[in-house]
Amino acid sequence: DAGITQSPRYKITETGRQVTLMCHQTWSHSYMFWYRQDLGHGLRLIYYSAAADITDKGEVPDGYVVSRSKTENFPLTLESATRSQTSVYFCASVGLREGGGNEQFFGPGTRLTVL
Amino acid sequence: AQKITQTQPGMFVQEKEAVTLDCTYDTSDPSYGLFWYKQPSSGEMIFLIYQGSYDQQNATEGRYSLNFQKARKSANLVISASQLGDSAMYFCAMREGIGQFYFGTGTSLTVIP
C-alpha cells in the first residue's frame, strides 16, 4: 500500500510490558515523526527523525524509544508501559508539495490502552 | 508559553456561510511553516493548507484560505461556503526549524443545515 501504514491499529497491554508500534512509509521521505493525541492536548510530538540513524526528542519523549535503521521504517517502543501512555499514536512524514512548501502526511493512528 | 494557541474550543456555522478559525503562534525562528489539519470523527488527520514564513501571499486551497498576518503572529483558517462534511476538529500546527512540530488544542466545527 502506498503512503504511511501503522501497526497494530489497536493494542491493549498491561503496565510494565514493552510495546512496539510500527510505522512504514513508501515515499522515502527523510523526516518522520511520532505524536500522541490526548483529549485537551491536541497532538504532541514524541520523537522525530531527519534521516536513517538520526533521531531527536520532541516535546514529550520520556518513556519512549525510537530507532530508524531504514528510511522507510520508524518504530516507537514503550519500554515499560504506564497507564499515562494510554493514547492514540500517530506516525507522520514530511514531503514536498507539488505547488511548493511542505506537507505532513499522517498514518491512520494506533489506539493504545495500557491497563 | 504556548507555541500554538487556538482560542475557540467550539464553533458553529450555517451551511454555505464562511467561517474563520483562529490560530496564533509563538516563535523567534525566522523560518517556520504553518499548517492546518482536519480531523473528522473517523480519526484520520487530513492536510488542508500550508503557509511558509517567507511566503508573500496568503495560501489558498480550494475553499480553504489562510489569513497570514506575520506581525500579529496569526494564521487564521477561512473556510468559505461551509458544507456539512466540514464538521470536524481543526488543528493549527507550526513547524519550527527543521523538525519540531507544535499543534494547537483544536477547534471543533459544527456545520448547521
pLDDT in tens, chain A (115 residues): 569 999 999 999 999 999 999 999 998 899 999 999 998 778 999 999 999 999 999 999 999 999 999 999 999 999 999 999 999 999 999 887 776 677 889 999 999 999 9
pLDDT category at B100 given cuts 50, 70, 90 is confident
Q: How far is A114 from chain B (nearest CA, A)?
A: 20
Which three cell numbers, joined as nine digits, stand for A51? 534521516
Q: How far is A18 from chain B (nearest CA, A)?
A: 25
- Of the partner residues B47, B100, B104, the one whose CB lies closest to the CB of residue A104: B47
B100 vs B93, residue with greater confidence: B93
Q: Say what the pLDDT of residue A39 is.
A: 81
At position A62, the amino acid (one-letter code) is: D
Residues of A in contact with B98 (CB under 8 A): 31, 50
At residue A40, the pLDDT reads 73
Q: Phi and psi at residue B58, in whole multiples of 5°?
A: -65, 140
Answer yes or no: do A42 and B47 touch at CB < 8 A: no
Please give the pLDDT value at position B45. 93
pLDDT tens-place string over residues B14-56: 999 999 999 999 999 999 999 999 999 999 999 999 999 999 8
Q: Determine the pLDDT at residue A73.
A: 96
Please name the residue of chain B whose CA is at the shortest distance from the CA of residue A91: B45
Residue of A4, A37, A43, A74 to mutate, interface with B, max B Cβ within 10 Å: A43
pLDDT score of A1: 58
Q: CB neighbours (10 Å) of residue B28?
A: 6
**How many angstroms away from the CA of A102 is the closest CA of chain B?**
7
Q: CB pairs below 8 Å between A and B: how many?
A: 66
Distance in angstroms between the alpha carbons of the first and the last residue of chain B:
38
Q: What is the mean pLDDT of chain B?
A: 94
Q: Which three cell numbers stand for residue A105?
A: 502526511
Specify the pairing of strand A19-25 against strand A76-78.
Answer: antiparallel
